[in-house]
Structure 1
Amino acid sequence: MRKRSFRSSPVSVGWLFADLLLALAMIFLIANTTITPLKASVRPKPTPTPTPSPTPIPIPRLELQPHRFTINIDATGYLSNNADAINNAKKQIRNQGFLKGRSVGLVIAYGGAPTTDNIPTALDIAAKTYDVCKSIGRDHFAFENTSYYTEKLYRLGDSPNTVTIDVFLFKV
């Protein structure tokens, strides 16, 4: 029998050498690599600055009972815009103690009519009284945020020089 001889060729030895070198390189890399666990970095969320929430404004309420008072006027001067007659009415209204430091929500005015023939004049006096109250409100007194009853009213049997006024105040 013939002996077989294996010859090693330089090419096969080169591949073996390259494989060994690659294996050594991998061992070197693995040995020198340290694995440090990744720490999760938690970024603190900025705390939002609290925005002030709007304070709810309560709905103004009216007192349930009106304050009734009467003023004495000079009906002729009152309706003809006589300054003394108007100022006298304003003074009487301002002197009502319950109005000090308060705010009026609703005004209802009644002109006096001794007979049915005087009703038109009494209605004009009631309308004029609303104008006087509005004027007082422009002076920053009690009637600044006031509503006025839309109908002109009268009290049959009262003097034409008497005005009856019902005032509903805002609750405190």
Structure 2
Amino acid sequence: MSRRSIRNAPVSVGWLFADLLLALAMIFLIANTTITPIKASIHPKPMATPTATPSPTPLPIPRLELQPHRFTINIDTTGYLNNAPDAINSAKEQIRNQSFLKGRSVGLVIAYGGAPTTDDIPAALDIAAKTYDVCKIIGKDHFAFENASYYTEKLYRLGDSPNTVTIDVFLFKAS
């Protein structure tokens, strides 16, 4: 090989690199070019004016009363926790007999099982959970608890009798 052809090789490689770079730039430009189609203009035909339909009136969001109604029921603890029909029906009857619930809707229920000592806390928590279940059953009968929400934690009242359940209910405000 002559010295002249060796010297021209880097120059040729440089031009080749420049040509490849130009080709890549063109491909990039073409790939990123978007073509917007021409939209045909449509002239709508005049139509008869539709009669106005009334829009539905939005219902107000139901609000809860700020003060709870508190009451207690007496239960047979063993029967209540073992789903004895007499114990469950007695609790249902005591709840249904609360005069302030007649014709009203409960929004939130908070139940507390009675725990005379700290050793009784687990049973009291089970009683609170069972009370939520009883209220839900009453709600399925289209009584006051039909739209109720239930406090997610089981609660207890230390020092109360294990045969006593304390229930706080927040009613929806009367319209």
Shorter-chain TM-score bucket reads 0.7 to 0.9
Name which one, 1 or 2, has greater alpha-carbon Rg: 1
The residue that corresponds to 2:147 in the other structure is: 145
Aligned positions, number: 129
The residue that corresponds to 1:106 in the other structure is: 108
The residue that corresponds to 1:161 in the other structure is: 163
The residue that corresponds to 1:132 in the other structure is: 134
Using the TM superposition, give the Cα deviation of residue 129 of structure 1 relative to its aligned residue in structure 2, in angstroms. Answer: 0.0
1:1-172 aligned at under 5 Å gives the runs 46-172=48-174
Distance 1:49 1:100 in 2: 44
Distance 1:52 1:156 in 2: 57
Distance 1:52 1:137 in 2: 35
Aligned CA-pair RMSD = 1.2
Deviation digits for residues 30-74 of structure 1, max 9, x if unmatched? Answer: xxxxxxxxxxxxxxx855312111111110100000000000000
Deviation digits for residues 13-36 of structure 1, max 9, x if unmatched? Answer: xxxxxxxxxxxxxxxxxxxxxxxx
Distance 1:52 1:165 in 2: 44
Distance 1:101 1:49 in 2: 40
Distance 2:52 2:87 in 1: 58
Using the TM superposition, give the Cα deviation of residue 105 of structure 1 relative to its aligned residue in structure 2, in angstroms. Answer: 0.2
Distance 2:154 2:173 in 1: 26
Q: Could you list the runs of 4 or more consecutive aligned residues of structure 1 that deviate by over 4 angstroms after TM superposition?
A: none
Distance 2:102 2:54 in 1: 34
| Equivalent position amino acid for 2:61 in 1 | I
Unaligned runs of 5+ in 1: 1-44
| Equivalent position amino acid for 1:105 in 2 | G
| Equivalent position amino acid for 1:100 in 2 | K
Distance 2:53 2:73 in 1: 52
Distance 1:79 1:125 in 2: 7
Unaligned runs of 5+ in 2: 1-46
Please, what TM-score do these two structures have when normalized by structure 1?
Answer: 0.73
Identity %: 87
Classify the secondary structure of the residue corresponding to 1:135: helix
